[in-house]
Structure 1
Amino acid sequence: MEFGWPVLGLAAAIGAWALAVVVFDVPEIVLPSPADVLDAFLRVPGYLLGEAVTTFVVIVLGFALAVAAGLVIGVAIAASRIVELMFSPLLVAFNAVPKVALAPLLVVWMGFGQQPKVVMALLVCFFPVVLSVAGGLTSTPVELVELARSLRASRTQTFLRFRFPSALPQIFVGLKVAMPLSAVGAVIGEFSAGDEGLGFVVVQSGANSDTALAFAAIALLGVMSVALFYALVLAERTLLPWVRETTSQR
């Protein structure tokens, strides 16, 4: 039944969209109907799916690099008060910079191709990972810390056996925030530096006034982002079954 509600919600949204197009007589170039979008997809399904694979690779690579870098920097911030005081303001300031403004610079530095797109995805989704890792590691319950001390655990053992497992639920919150942001970053990169991918399809379709094809690419991007998000949810439930048993997440 849990699966049925999202399907019902999607059907209601598509129905409202189709009704609005008919009632307000919206031109197709402004807002195509769901049927027009489906026709556009069926017109070139192989092309769109191929571009979706390209964007998928960029999203996953950018996200994976953000997780790796975020874990290292988050652990460093949590482990040292000096590191936190030195670099936390810089991270906050960098996160406040609109990443779209960096897109042309990435093209200058790296040229066209996959590299600037992956880096853009990394930059957009990096901060939530760092924040969740540092926050999770610095909020270990006091009783766990006392237990580690009573067992005379070393600093490494305390981290691996107590602090990191305790931080995992919060880390997964950051990962679930970062995954859709990685998709946003990948599309921004494809807008500026791409000659392939769903973002490039949207730009080209807009330039050619093929709004239905642009919406088909956007819909594919949405489906892909939702699938990746729920893959993380599944991973969290598989790796951390105790979270649902010991909290109100039921």
Structure 2
Amino acid sequence: MDRGRGAAAAAGWSALGLAVAVGAWALVVSAFAIPEIVLPSPGGVVAAFLRLPGYLLEQALITLGETVLGFVLSVGCGLVIGMGIAAFRVAELMFSPLLVAFNAVPKVALAPLLVVWMGFGQQPKVVMALLVCFFPVVLSVWGGLASTPPELVELARSLDTPRWRTFVKIRFPAALPQMFVGLKVAMPLASVGAVIGEFSAGDAGLGFVIVQAGGSSDTALAFAAIGLLGVLSIALFYALVLAERLLLPWVRETAAVR
């Protein structure tokens, strides 16, 4: 019951924050008489969405599919690489500098190359989503497995527990909270990567809508697409939060701040 009231209060505060932000936006546009082509009013954005609701929702579903697929692939690759680096010191020495260097490369610079390699279509956008959110996943898996409480590892070693069983029963479960931190960082980045791909190689998706609307000076439509992108990112993030609460109930129970 207390949790239900807490969730309702959190939702209420979030709605209030949104109302304040939208109100401030409308006030700035009105007070400074900002032209619609520069910054549309909230009402103009809503009108732009209502003008083409079916089209915008269709493009949102395309971006959603690319985001989710890129995120899932990044999780699979990140788990394999992160576990390999955490398990083998040689792998850490060999590949950790390369991972840091790769993360430092602006991914937008790779977008034209992905078009050359893969052509136009879904593939370069999914790969861009994977590349953008890949590093946080690897880092969280690597860090989580490396920070296993040493007393638990020593206990397993004293009982002659096989290495694979220590990993399955102790190291991996202990690393899950930190892994979810990385996943929650990576999820919004996946949508950013998908949109970057749509900017460069897209013929569909919300990124494509933003480019086309900007080119035709339909700023309100571009803002409507940006708003939909924000809604998608929020929904995906809180879906991951819900999955964490269902899979790791002990984390919430033992957290210092609830």
Whether 1:116 and 2:124 are equivalent positions in the alignment is yes
TM-score computed with the length of structure 1 as normaliser = 0.99
Gaps of 5+ in 1: none
Match of 1:62 among 70, 73, 81: 70
Equivalent residue pairs, number? 250
- 1:128–1:178 Cα contact (<8 Å) kept: yes
Which of 173, 177, 186 aligns to 2:185? It is 177
1:158 aligns with 2:187: no
Matches within 5 A, 1:1-150: 1-150=9-158
Residue in 1 that maps onto 2:257? 249
- Contact kept, 8 Å, 1:243 with 1:249, in 2: the verdict is no
Q: CA RMSD in A?
A: 0.6
Residues of 2 paired with 1:141 and 1:247: CA distance?
17
Q: How does 1:223-242 map to 2 (within 5 A)?
A: 223-242=231-250
Alignment gaps of 5+ in structure 2: 1-8
Please say if 1:209 is aligned against 2:210.
no
Q: How high is the TM-score relative to the length of structure 2? A: 0.96
Equivalent position SS for 1:153: coil
Compare 189-198 and 142-151 and name the one that shifted more: 142-151
Deviation sequence 1:141-181 (CA, Å, 0-9, x none): 01211221233211000000000000000000000000000
The residue type paired with residue 63 of structure 1 is F
Cα deviation, residue 228, structure 1:
0.2
CA distance in structure 1 between the aligned counterparts of 2:29 and 2:164, rounded to whole angstroms: 61
Using the alignment, how far apart are the partners of 1:161 and 1:151 within structure 2?
13
SS at match of 1:3: helix
